[in-house]
């Protein structure tokens, strides 16, 4: 396995150099945010204390000058294409797992170049061609050689840290010994294991892969079913899903030929979408899921682009389309583009497994209503733009305007459900107003005025004393009599930085021709604003 720990950062640096994106310096602390969490960070950022999985605020707290690199899987895939191409000159059949990670069967190539270590060195050299110093941003490539996918990815990770290839001797005992000391949490990033399962294993006292391997396979089968057996195979190094060098069976191949060669990427992706939908529907009808797919495209002049893509969670239609787009984008817009339009596109699933529904849905556990809503949301997002549909995310705070923040559904993605959930025991916010809360909140302050019996503006002193009881409420030149009022509730926030704010909140009930109406007001800097209305 050839693996790059933070490929998106290298891709961003390379894109910046070629003038197709903002420039980044590889030596400075960089990080990529996805779904409001740090998804990867550069070695410089790591030294400052930034860790993947942190929120933006935590990361910036650890390293205030960290630069955020936009999340863009297409860019990553495009930049990875030359690396795949370079390695392809030595090893023709390889599985691309994701941009930044690829897997190959070593038996043939090792014999050819003279052993695993020689092969690993050659791969390191090939992977780093042309992007040597840009790799500073991600920590460089790691090459790991081992039996099985899990051991190889762990070896590659270890190699990326040490900077030298790691070769685990062949044989299930050696592999099991290599795997044993790793914590079970490594299963999530490497083979896409369900985090809930990992949590359960930890709670059962199985902290390390060796602990799981020490159990008998039948016990794991009893407790976890087929997943348990797969888990045992993984942990004891007898996993047999190694990358195959055999040509795929032609049964499920879907192919689209174009009479007129197609030069544009969009049209190809569109064609790929219908192919992928067709394939997905056919496999779903048989209760199967493909985990590895070969994408082949051929140009009018006979040039071909062929890639094998692997994904442990399974490739659904949208995932297949993404991979086709990455591959073709890298080919058509890359350094060695085809000299004519594309005439055929072919998708061949090579690894199939029973669809056990392991893939988590977009909204977590799904019901029919959730499915329908997700479709409607996608449709509206298409009509109005990606930021038009938002979901409330709990932030906390004492100001009714800030307790929930609206975040675009497209950004929050799978975390939508977790985000809006209010913590079961929200932390106390001294000074926040008790329920009920205003049904209408004004994020842009609406100016108003509150006058006392003599027609003077009511003010609040520095010590929180009201100058006179409010008598009149004036809003857009309409005057209303204040029937009841309460306050002031002084709010002094962020006194430590420039955004410091001093204000006082009031609740008032006014006599309105349609009945009493309640408002939440704020006085700040001697001016009155309407914060909320109880309608």
Binding site for another protein (CB under 8 A): 367, 369-370, 372-377, 379-380, 383-385, 387-392, 394, 400, 403-404, 406, 409, 416-417, 420-422, 433-443, 466, 469, 484-487, 507-509, 512, 514-518, 532, 534-535
Give the span between the Cα atoms of 334 and 394, in whole angstroms. Answer: 43
Residue 73 and residue 99 in contact, taking contact as beta carbons nearer than 8 Å: yes
Look up residue 358 and give its two tokens.
Answer: 């392991």
Between 251 and 365, whose beta carbon lies closer to another protein?
365
Between 35 and 406, whose beta carbon lies closer to another protein?
406
Q: What is the three-state SS of 89-106?
A: CCCCCEEEEECCEEEECC
Between 129 and 461, whose beta carbon lies closer to another protein?
461
Residue 117 preceded by cis peptide, ω within 30: no
DSSP 3-state assignment of 191? helix
Quick one: which H or E segment has residue 381?
helix 368-384
Between 132 and 435, whose beta carbon lies closer to another protein?
435
Q: Minimum CB separation from another protein for residue 399, in Å?
A: 10
Q: Minimum CB separation from another protein for residue 530, in Å?
A: 11
Between 173 and 376, whose beta carbon lies closer to another protein?
376
Q: Minimum CB separation from another protein for residue 394, in Å?
A: 8
DSSP 3-state assignment of 222? helix
DSSP 3-state assignment of 504? strand
Quick one: which H or E segment has residue 109?
helix 107-113
Q: Minimum CB separation from another protein for residue 415, in Å?
A: 11
Which is nearest to 106 in space by CA: 138, 151, 160, 157?
151
DSSP 3-state assignment of 212? helix
Residue 436 preceded by cis peptide, ω within 30: yes
Q: Which phi and psi (to 5°) does residue 365 adopt?
A: -70, 130
Between 103 and 460, whose beta carbon lies closer to another protein?
460
Between 28 and 410, whose beta carbon lies closer to another protein?
410
Q: Minimum CB separation from another protein for residue 55, in Å?
A: 19
Which is nearest to 523 in space by CA: 500, 494, 501?
501
Quick one: which H or E segment has residue 410?
helix 409-412
Q: Minimum CB separation from another protein for residue 502, in Å?
A: 21
Between 310 and 404, whose beta carbon lies closer to another protein?
404
Tokens 């950004």 correspond to: 411
Q: How far apart are the first and last CA of the chain?
A: 61
Q: Minimum CB separation from another protein for residue 424, in Å?
A: 13
Look up residue 268 and give its two tokens.
Answer: 């190809």
Residue 145 and residue 152 in contact, taking contact as beta carbons nearer than 8 Å: yes
Q: Minimum CB separation from another protein for residue 433, in Å?
A: 7
Q: Which phi and psi (to 5°) does residue 290 adopt?
A: -95, 140
β-pairing, 440-451 vs 30-34, is unpaired
Between 354 and 486, whose beta carbon lies closer to another protein?
486
Q: Minimum CB separation from another protein for residue 382, in Å?
A: 8
Between 188 and 483, whose beta carbon lies closer to another protein?
483
Q: Minimum CB separation from another protein for residue 469, in Å?
A: 6
Q: Minimum CB separation from another protein for residue 209, in Å?
A: 35
Between 303 and 405, whose beta carbon lies closer to another protein?
405
* Beta strands per DSSP E along 158-287: 166-167, 254-262
Between 439 and 498, whose beta carbon lies closer to another protein?
439
Q: Minimum CB separation from another protein for residue 34, in Å?
A: 21
Give the span between the Cα atoms of 85 and 222, in whole angstroms. Answer: 45
Q: Which residues pair with 529 in a beta bridge?
A: 447, 522
Which is nearest to 153 in space by CA: 201, 196, 208, 98?
98
């Amino acid at each position: 396995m050839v693996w790059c720990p933070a490929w998106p950062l290298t891709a961003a640096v390379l894109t910046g150099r070629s003038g197709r994106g903002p420039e980044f310096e590889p030596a400075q602390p960089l990080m990529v945010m996805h779904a409001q969490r740090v998804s990867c960070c550069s070695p410089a950022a790591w030294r400052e204390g930034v860790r993947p999985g942190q929120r933006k605020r935590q990361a910036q707290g650890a390293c205030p000058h960290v630069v955020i690199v936009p999340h863009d899987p297409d860019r990553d895939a495009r930049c990875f294409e030359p690396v795949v191409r370079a390695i392809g000159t030595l090893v023709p059949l390889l599985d691309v797992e994701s941009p930044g990670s690829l897997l190959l069967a070593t038996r043939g190539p090792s014999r050819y170049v003279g052993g695993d270590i020689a092969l690993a060195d050659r791969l390191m050299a090939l992977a780093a061609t042309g992007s040597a110093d840009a790799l500073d941003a991600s920590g460089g490539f790691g090459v790991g050689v081992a039996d099985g996918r899990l051991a190889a990815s762990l070896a590659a990770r270890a190699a990326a840290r040490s900077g030298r290839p790691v070769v685990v001797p062949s044989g299930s005992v050696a592999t099991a010994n290599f795997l044993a000391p790793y914590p079970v949490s490594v299963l999530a990033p490497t083979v896409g294991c369900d985090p809930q399962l990992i949590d359960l294993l930890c709670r059962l006292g199985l902290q390390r892969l060796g602990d799981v391997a020490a159990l008998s396979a039948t016990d794991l089968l009893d407790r976890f079913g087929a997943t348990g057996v797969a888990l045992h195979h993984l942990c004891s190094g007898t996993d047999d899903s190694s990358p195959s060098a055999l040509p795929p069976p032609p049964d499920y191949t879907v192919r689209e030929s174009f009479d007129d060669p197609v030069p544009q990427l969009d049209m190809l992706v569109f064609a790929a979408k219908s192919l992928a939908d067709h394939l997905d529907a056919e496999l779903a009808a048989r209760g199967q899921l493909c985990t590895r797919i070969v994408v082949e495209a051929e140009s009018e002049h006979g040039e071909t682009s062929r890639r094998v893509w692997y994904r442990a969670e399974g490739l659904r239609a949208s995932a297949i389309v993404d991979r086709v787009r990455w591959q073709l984008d890298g080919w058509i817009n890359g350094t060695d583009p085809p000299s004519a339009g594309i005439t055929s596109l072919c998708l061949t699933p090579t690894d199939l497994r029973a669809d056990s529904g392991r893939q988590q849905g977009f909204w977590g556990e799904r019901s029919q209503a959730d499915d329908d809503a997700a479709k409607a949301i996608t449709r509206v997002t298409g009509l109005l733009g990606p930021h038009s549909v938002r979901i409330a995310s709990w932030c906390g705070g004492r100001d009714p305007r800030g307790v929930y923040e609206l975040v675009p559904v497209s950004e929050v993605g799978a975390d939508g459900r977790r985000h809006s959930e209010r913590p079961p025991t929200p932390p106390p916010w001294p000074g926040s107003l008790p329920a009920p809360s205003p049904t209408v909140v004004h994020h842009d302050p609406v100016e108003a005025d509150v006058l006392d019996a003599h027609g003077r503006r009511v003010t609040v002193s520095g010590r929180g004393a009201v100058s006179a009881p409010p008598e009149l409420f004036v809003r857009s030149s309409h005057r209303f009599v204040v029937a009841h009022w309460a306050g002031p509730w002084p709010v002094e926030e962020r006194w430590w930085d420039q955004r410091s704010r001093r204000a006082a909140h009031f609740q008032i009930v006014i006599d309105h021709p349609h009945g009493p109406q309640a408002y939440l007001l704020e006085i700040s800097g001697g001016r009155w604003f309407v914060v909320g209305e109880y309608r």
